Every structure is written in C-alpha cells, then in structure tokens.
Structure 1
C-alpha cells in the first residue's frame, strides 16, 4: 500500500485540489446575486450544489485511481459503452430538458445530467483502446478507421443538433488529437480526413433534405458567431461578450476585491458557469487569471509529458486524450470570454459551476492518476531487479 501511495502523481493532485477549492469560492462569489435576484433561490444555492458535486466527483476520482484502467480495453465493455452513450444522446434529442437554448440535459429525479459531457470520456476510452490494440494495422481502413469514424460522426451530429456546438467541437478535437498521436502515417491521416469529410457532407445534406438544418443554424446560434466580431455595437447578440470585456478591463492587475464584482449584478449572464473567468478577472485581476491558467496549463503539459514516457499504447493515448480534453476546453472557454472565438457555452474546467462537467473531469483525472501510478510501479519494479552477471559484464 505504501508503494502504491508513493507512485501517484502528487503535483497534479495538489493542482486539482487547489483549482476545485478555488472554483468553489468563485462559484459562491459569482452566483450569490443571481441566485436571489434571478431565480429566487437561497444565496448559497449554487455553492451548495457545487460542493455536493465536488464531493461526489472526488469519490469518483479516488475509485478510478485504484480501478485497473486496462479493464476499459475489454471489447464487450467498449461496445456497451459506445452504444449506451449513443442511446442516451438519442433519448436526450427526443425527451431532453432545454436550458440555454440547447436540449442537452436529462432530468432523472432531482438530478440533471448532460450526456454530451460523458461522451467526451467515452470517445477517449474507445479511440485509445482501438488504436492502442491495433498498432500493427493502424492504417487499415476497414478495421482501424471506419469504426471510430462512424461513432465519432454520429456522436458529433447528435450533440450538434441539440444544438451544442461547443461540446461537439471539443469531442471532435479530442478525437483528432488521439488519432494524430496514434502512430498513423500521414497517408493514413489523409485517408481518414477524406472519409470523415465525405460522411459529414452526407449527414449535412440529409439535414437539409429533412428540414432539420434550421434547428442547427437557428437565429440564436448564428448570433453567437456574429456578435463576437463587434460586441459593443451588436445589440443583444454582443451583450455577454461586451460585459465580459468590461469585467476583464475593470479588474486590472489585482482586481476590485473578492465578492466586489459589479458585472455579476445581472449585467453578465451565466457569470458562474461560462463566464466565471470574467468574474475572476474583475475580482482578482490578472493575478487571479494567471493562477488559474498556469495551474491548468501545468496539468495539461504534465499529462502530455508523462504520456511520452508511458510504454503502454492504451495508457499513453488515454493520457493524451484526457490532457487534450482539458486543454481544448480551457482554450474554447477563455477564447469565448475574451472574444478570441465565438461564444460556445463551454465551462472552465474544475472552476465553473456544473456537476456533470466536474464529475467527468474528476473521473478522468482518476484514470490519469491510475495510469501514472502503474507506470511508476513498473519502473520501480524494473529498477529493483538484480543485475545478471552477463548484463554487469556488458555494462562495464
């Protein structure tokens, strides 16, 4: 037990704990006004929900830290997982709960879950297992390319028609990062890209024919893509970004003080979810933003560096997928908050309010820690093996 505990990656664990605790404080600060004035809840409503979600998420992380990650390579499990997540997305499309102009949630009792969030980890596991096992035929179109393409396109389309462009984009980019890192040749990647484009074109054409394309390109969604170019003169479509930029500019170097934001008084919608970084910038300034970004950057870069040291293809691709998921989500969130890219409604990992997102991320980090723990134990075992006489002579 002592050897196992020593084998975990504690710098990453400490970074995660700091981010979660920091996020809990900022969820309370950014939601306290809206909870009372907008929804008529208790002042700490969102804080309490996030605290419960965080406790559950830590339990999930600790479980995944000890559960053998190689179990997820099991073929039957992979099929059940992928058909299960596809079924949940189909069910959400028909019977899901709408919030934020997207039909993305399922109400189960008093709980709300977002199947699109869990599709990220499902695809990471599936693609890592497929390409980890099939290294000897990685460029085979029938066995290594088409099954992932079918699942990837299906899931992206089901998420896109909710419509949730941000999550669909993250799913696609995560998948691309794993495929590019899988060892596939350039020629194989070109073939893969060609097949994907053909399937995507057919799918889009089908939406045009059936008349469902209007749901994907609704006026509200198109406004998000046009409002970011000139938010201060775009009317309602630029309201969120304009107030986000005002909050960032108001914060300066050290901010106006924790709890002292003015933009959270109804000016900046979703201040505790998608735009929590703007509130961090206003209340804690550049220093608060730097802490969050540097900590997140450390987690992503450490995962990518350790993936290069992992000699198990499945574990290595899992680390790449998990690290890419966090990094891509940070870029999309911060890019939307600062006007670098259109607003897509993506939360800031480990910091924003959202139980489904936090549970997914902490489960992923548990798997991340499990891979590193087993990698370190293997290295320790190899280092402790006695040197044979032949090896001693050859090394000297």
Structure 2
C-alpha cells in the first residue's frame, strides 16, 4: 500500500517546487544583503535567515499536506472553521493589525509578521471548491447554487480592500472567477453573476463618490501616473519603474554575475520582494529570467493537467484554484516591474521574500501534490482490470447521446 502511494506522487512537480524555492532563497540573499545593512541596520544575511526559517516551516507543512487526504476538507466542521476563521482573522486586523506600506495587513506575533490576506486566498479556494462540489446537482439554480459563494467571496474582498490591499483583493476575485468558469455553471448564470457584480460595484463606487470618499490614496494614484509616463518624473512617481528598467536592461543575455547588481545599492526599492525579478535579470540576465519562467510555467500547467485528469469535482476545483492563484500572482508581479500594469506590491511566487507568502504557497502546493497522488493512485491501481481475451471493440458514444438513448429506453417501460 505504502509503496503504491509513493509511486503515485508526481516527483517532477515536487522537483520543480524545490528548485524554485532554492533559487528564490539564493536570490533573496543576493538582492537583500545591501538593503539589510544600509536601510535597516541588520546583518547582511538577515532576510536570508528569515526566509530560510519560513522555508523549513513551509517544507514541514508541505510534507503534511502531501499525505493528508484532501477530501477531509469537505468535513462541515473543518469548512466552518475555515470560513469563520478567515473572517475573524481579517476582522482582527482592525484592532491588532500592524501597518506597513500604507496598509494595515499584518499581525505581529513575537518577532514574526503574519499577513492573514495570504492564507485567506487558500481559504477561498477550499470553500469554493467544496461548495461547488456539493452543489453540482443544482448548480444552475441562481439562489441556491450561485449566490452563497458570491456572498462569502464578496465579504472577504471587502475586508481586504478596507486594509487597503487592492492587489490581494483583485487576486482573490480573479481566483473566484476562474473557479466559477470551471465549476460547470451554465453561461446564462455566469452572465447574470457578472451583471450583478457590475451593478453592485457601480452602486458602491457611486455611493462613495457622492459621500466624497477618496477611493485611492495619493500614493496609489501615483502608481498609475508612474506607469503612464515613468520617465516624466524619474525622481518621483516613476522612480521604482525606471530603476527596474535600468536593472533589466543592464543584465543582457548572461547578466553581470551573481551578487553583482548595481540597482540593489539603494536605487531599486523593495529589491528583494516586489522587484526581485529585476535583480535576477540584472545579475543572471535573460537566461536567469527564462529559468524562473520555465519552472513557474511548468508548475502552473502541471496544476491544470492535474485538474483535467482528476474525476472528483472537489479535487479538480482545488487544482484549478491553486494553479490560477500562482498564475495570476506571477502575471501581476511581472506586469508591474515591466510597466505593463500599475505596481501592486504582489510578490513573485516562490522567489520573492516573504514568510507568509512562502508558507501559503507550500501549503497550497502540498495540497495540489496530494490531489495528484490520489488521482494517479486511482487511475493506476483502482481501475477495474479487464482480461485481454474478454475485451471487445466498442464505439464510444458522446455522453449526451448515451443519456438520450437511455432515457428513451427507460421511457418505454413506463
């Protein structure tokens, strides 16, 4: 039994995750050693050591989730803990939250800063997967199958926006969109849902504007102007983006060499978090960037392949949600540092510094590997064996044709 389970794990996916985390740890040290000393007065390896501890903790969580049966999350008690725990955790930020970067998004526990918004992403994925798994028989009934998941997602996004953390709220909403599209819901109800969201969102924005509430702070507005014309205000709104361009352009094909970045000497803020890919481009060149992109693309595509192979709706939606989360975060991060979209402060998955981020990712990937293992185990060892001599050539009918034929046959006996 144990031998069969071990054979069912997808070791190519596990290897890709290990390579990303190891590479990220090296680049966190390289990109943060100057910042740690010059800006914060820490030891050069301060951020490296903290990231290493987060990776060790994340590795243990990853191993636990690899062997923990994913369908246990369908238990009502566990789901209630996830739902109410997420809301309480986000609500606690208004009382004990720690502000950094103009957002009250962290909780200080001893020497650690925990960002609840990161873990809530996985909570939303598990909740939506469980709800849509349960509602498959009446998924297209608007009041029963469509509205409840929307209400929970809306509450979570509202809490996150108030912090304010628009980047995380956008990621959660986009994850929900991807899962809804893959849930089996009819296009008619999807269009109703989209219309409802736009109407409600428009009403909220209109109400806030009438009350004279500024939807965006001056710093947030500067991110838009910085994208539109970064070289128009090099020392102001365009400072981060312009220095990101300098870092990317200086690297060329092979880069300046590991540890040889110039932009990390105080020119590029957040060089070890939001803009770590710019440092990779500067030090390791296009080849280093391609290495990261290939591994990230492999993990994302492997996740969607797992979703396609899994015949369990809950497992399928978990894989879709986790893969979508990584893809969306990567696109937003890369779009920000290349000037395609405004900078949002979203880290690059597995690479950027951040304890909460790496813990969430390894927890999520452990769950994805678990879904893959159970799917492979079922396909390999639990399929009914048919003797070769008893096999007969068959014509595979489309599902809808088989259903129509069986319906007519059953009707004849009424």
TM-score range (shorter-chain normalised) is over 0.9
Q: Call closer, same or farther: CA 1:393–1:180 in 2, change over 3 Å.
A: closer
- CA distance in 2: counterparts of 1:313 and 1:290, whole angstroms: 34
- CA distance in 2: counterparts of 1:204 and 1:356, whole angstroms: 31
Partner of 2:348: 348
TM-score by length of 2: 0.91
1:365 aligns with 2:370: no
Q: What does 1:215-234 align with in structure 2 at a 5 Å threshold?
A: 216-234=215-233
Partner of 1:310: 310
Partner of 2:411: none
Q: What does 1:372-383 align with in structure 2 at a 5 Å threshold?
A: 372-383=372-383
Deviation at 1:336, TM superposition (A): 0.3
Partner of 1:326: 326
Q: Is the 8 A contact 1:73 1:129 kept in 2?
A: yes
* 3-state SS, counterpart of residue 349 of structure 1: coil
Deviation at 1:394, TM superposition (A): 3.5
Higher deviation after alignment, 140-149 or 21-30: 140-149
Deviation at 1:58, TM superposition (A): 0.6
- CA distance in 2: counterparts of 1:252 and 1:387, whole angstroms: 58
Residues 292-340 of structure 1 deviation map (CA, whole Å, 9 limit, x = unaligned): 0110001001111221111000000100000000000000000001001
Higher deviation after alignment, 38-47 or 108-117: 108-117
Partner of 1:149: 150
Partner of 2:280: 280
TM-score by length of 1: 0.95
Count of aligned pairs: 392
Deviation at 1:141, TM superposition (A): 1.4
Q: Is the 8 A contact 1:93 1:104 kept in 2?
A: no
- CA distance in 2: counterparts of 1:256 and 1:361, whole angstroms: 30
Deviation at 1:205, TM superposition (A): 4.7
Deviation at 1:210, TM superposition (A): 6.3
Higher deviation after alignment, 77-86 or 57-66: 77-86
- CA distance in 2: counterparts of 1:269 and 1:209, whole angstroms: 36
Partner of 1:392: 390
Q: Is the 8 A contact 1:149 1:196 kept in 2?
A: no
Residues 23-62 of structure 1 deviation map (CA, whole Å, 9 limit, x = unaligned): 0000000000000000000010000000000000010010
Q: What does 1:84-95 align with in structure 2 at a 5 Å threshold?
A: 84-95=85-96
- CA distance in 1: counterparts of 2:75 and 2:225, whole angstroms: 45
Q: Call closer, same or farther: CA 1:393–1:259 in 2, change over 3 Å.
A: closer
* 3-state SS, counterpart of residue 169 of structure 2: helix
- CA distance in 2: counterparts of 1:349 and 1:305, whole angstroms: 19
Partner of 1:56: 57
Q: Is the 8 A contact 1:31 1:46 kept in 2?
A: yes
Deviation at 1:208, TM superposition (A): 4.7
- CA distance in 2: counterparts of 1:393 and 1:92, whole angstroms: 63
* 3-state SS, counterpart of residue 89 of structure 2: helix
* 3-state SS, counterpart of residue 236 of structure 2: helix
Q: Is the 8 A contact 1:93 1:158 kept in 2?
A: no
Deviation at 1:86, TM superposition (A): 1.3
Higher deviation after alignment, 89-98 or 202-211: 202-211
Q: What does 1:5-24 align with in structure 2 at a 5 Å threshold?
A: 5-24=6-25
Higher deviation after alignment, 311-320 or 66-75: 66-75
Higher deviation after alignment, 25-34 or 5-14: 5-14
- CA distance in 2: counterparts of 1:92 and 1:202, whole angstroms: 26
- CA distance in 2: counterparts of 1:174 and 1:88, whole angstroms: 20
Q: What does 1:1-396 align with in structure 2 at a 5 Å threshold?
A: 1-205=2-206, 207-208=208-209, 213-214=213-214, 216-234=215-233, 235-383=235-383, 385-387=384-386, 392=390, 394-395=392-393
Q: Call closer, same or farther: CA 1:81–1:151 in 2, change over 3 Å.
A: same
- CA distance in 2: counterparts of 1:86 and 1:196, whole angstroms: 21
Higher deviation after alignment, 187-196 or 229-238: 229-238
Q: Call closer, same or farther: CA 1:386–1:249 in 2, change over 3 Å.
A: closer
Q: Which runs of 4+ in 1 moved over 4 A?
A: 205-211
- CA distance in 2: counterparts of 1:75 and 1:142, whole angstroms: 21
